């Protein structure tokens, strides 16, 4: 077969752009090429990508869309026509579109990967400007793509259910193929000197970890309050624990930073703690005595080290895995996930998980690898944090079960299942 794969989501893999759909596409393609030397592959990139060497082999042809730099000047429909025309000329037996949509005027056989339908189920999780820019995609491209595709790959049973429920697509047209783990990066984390990471970020004790974008869907305000509530109870088991949040800034994130500031002030017994916005604006409502104490504390790195709740910002892949590996438990109380890759990565490292009992997350964790909570109930999150700390046997059991659970969830298995889906469409 002559199989085309749209690789435009793969950008600078060495520069921190390997995330989301690009992460999926990169590892799927790498593992497909490792196991399949019989079929011919045509990989389509846009001309911003330059590192083709790692994809070069005998049965691979690499093509770049020559008009990407003009994209912003082209109407959407015309852009779709150009892409479709470029693809149609290749006379492919099959085109795999791994990013939820198929070019509108492409007329060949296609297979489509759908990662989530959050924009349909929970539009309130997205900025209004983003929603307005996505109207053509949500109203036309995605629905037509789902109908046009000869087969659909859903990354979880939850996503498959969402496709059937929202668009009435027949179940037999949809295959569930889970994503995988980057075992190479996980192996590297074992040899990482974590002391450097601890010193860099001021981590001084056992900690719970969250990794992901800072945005409303991730439900971080409730997590912060739940941790604060646990820290403030009499004889708290979490007295010597921190909550560490890492990830890129998203939209509507100010509430999260304010919640961190307020929670730290409550835990540390500070009457008046300035918000980040106040500090940036230069507004200072503190008394002279408070300013003096603040200045004294800032002289010592210990002040940063002992903050109960810390936001680290974006961390590198190596730092992320090191932080996961050394965390007491991974916390991920998201309100919706099509898959939940950070949860799988934590399980892959044998780290117990506290996550939501909704969408795809129970599929990854089950009852064997962590505690599932109602993400809208702060008290449940607080109880789960407390249980992980106080029940050593349960935490150890979760760690052992994690190793068993991820045996069949690697990129090689993902590639094999995807190849089977390709071959099922062979004419």
pLDDT value for 298: 47
Supply the pLDDT for residue 79.
Answer: 76
Predicted pLDDT of residue 196? 86
d(CA 378, CA 277): 26
Residue keyed to tokens 């520069």: 15
**What's the CA gap between 11 and 13, in Å, rounded?**
6
Residues 278 and 313 in one domain: yes
**Are 30 and 116 in a shared domain?**
yes
Q: What is the pLDDT of residue 427?
A: 74
Question: How many CA atoms does the CB half-sphere of 100 hold within 13 Å?
Answer: 21
106 and 29, same structural domain?
Answer: yes
* Distance between CA atoms of residues 245 and 309, nearest Å: 8
CA dist 120 and 277 (Å) reads: 33
Residue 15: per-residue pLDDT: 41
Q: Cβ neighbours of residue 60 under 8 Å, at least 6 residues apart?
A: 33, 40, 41, 42, 43
* Same domain? 75 vs 115: yes
pLDDT of residue 59: 96
**Domain identity same for 398 and 280:** yes
CB–CB of 331/308 below 8 Å? no
Q: Are residues 271 and 379 in the same domain?
A: yes
**One domain for residues 197 and 63:** no
Same domain, 196 and 257: yes
Domain ranges, residue 212? 183-405
Cα of 66 vs its chain's centroid, Å: 30
Token pair for 195: 């002391």
Mean pLDDT by 10 residues, the chain (427 residues): 93 53 92 96 85 91 78 68 90 96 94 96 94 93 96 97 97 96 73 83 93 95 97 93 94 93 90 54 56 52 69 90 94 96 93 96 93 97 97 93 85 96 91
What is the predicted pLDDT for the residue at 70?
Answer: 61
- Shared-domain flag, residues 141 and 199: no
> Please, how many CA atoms are within 13 Å of residue 137, restricted to the half-sphere of its CB?
13
Same domain, 37 and 136: yes
CB 100 within 8 A of CB 121: no
Tens of pLDDT, residues 224-274: 999 999 999 999 999 999 999 999 999 999 999 999 999 999 998 886 555
Domain at 202, CATH number: 3.40.50.2000
pLDDT tens track for 117-126: 999 999 999 9
Reference 325, options 179, 180, 207; nearest CA is: 207
pTM: 0.88
**Does one domain contain both 261 and 143?**
no
Q: Crossing angle, helix 183-190 and helix 341-348, to 10 degrees? A: 50
Q: How high is the pLDDT of residue 67?
A: 67
Same domain, yes or no: 390 and 343: yes
Closest Cα partner for 237 from 14, 386, 120, 88? 386
Give the count of domains, the chain.
Answer: 2
């Amino acid at each position: 077969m002559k199989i085309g794969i749209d690789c435009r989501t793969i950008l600078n893999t060495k520069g921190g752009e390997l995330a989301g759909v690009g992460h999926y596409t990169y590892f799927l393609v790498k593992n497909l090429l490792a196991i399949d030397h019989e079929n011919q592959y045509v990989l389509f990139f846009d001309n911003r990508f330059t590192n083709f060497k790692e994809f070069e082999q005998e049965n691979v042809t690499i093509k770049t869309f020559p008009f990407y730099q003009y994209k912003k000047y082209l109407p959407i429909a015309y852009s779709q026509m150009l892409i479709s025309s470029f693809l149609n000329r290749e006379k492919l037996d099959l085109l795999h579109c791994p990013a939820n949509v198929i070019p509108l005027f492409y007329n060949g056989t296609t297979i489509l990967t759908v990662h989530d339908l959050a924009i349909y189920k929970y539009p309130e999780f997205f900025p209004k400007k983003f929603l307005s820019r996505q109207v053509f995609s949500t109203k036309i491209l995605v629905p037509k793509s789902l109908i046009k595709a000869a087969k659909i790959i859903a990354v979880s049973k939850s996503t498959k259910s969402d496709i059937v429920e929202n668009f009435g697509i027949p179940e037999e047209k949809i295959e569930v193929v889970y994503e995988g783990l980057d075992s190479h990066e996980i192996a590297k984390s074992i040899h990482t000197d974590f002391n450097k990471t601890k010193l860099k970020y001021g981590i001084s004790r056992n900690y719970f970890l969250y990794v992901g974008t800072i945005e409303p869907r991730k439900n971080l305000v409730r997590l912060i309050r739940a941790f604060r509530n646990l820290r403030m109870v009499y004889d708290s088991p979490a007295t010597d624990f921190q909550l560490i949040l890492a990830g890129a800034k998203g939209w509507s994130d100010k509430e999260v930073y304010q919640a961190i500031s307020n929670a730290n002030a409550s835990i540390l017994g500070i009457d008046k703690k300035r918000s980040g916005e106040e500090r940036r604006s230069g507004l200072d409502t503190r008394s002279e005595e408070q300013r003096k104490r603040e200045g004294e504390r800032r002289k010592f790195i210990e002040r940063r080290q002992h903050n109960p709740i810390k936001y680290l910002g974006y961390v590198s892949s190596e730092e992320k895995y090191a932080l996961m590996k050394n965390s007491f438990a991974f916390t991920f109380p998201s309100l919706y996930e099509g898959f939940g890759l950070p949860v799988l990565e934590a399980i892959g490292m044998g780290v117990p998980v506290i996550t939501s009992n909704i969408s795809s997350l129970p599929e990854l964790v089950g009852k064997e690898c962590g505690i599932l909570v109602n993400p809208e109930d702060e008290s449940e999150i607080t109880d789960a944090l407390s249980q992980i700390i106080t029940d050593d046997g349960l935490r150890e059991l979760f760690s052992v079960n994690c190793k068993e659970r991820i045996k069949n969830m690697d990129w090689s298995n993902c590639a094999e299942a995807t190849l089977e889906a390709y071959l099922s469409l062979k004419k």
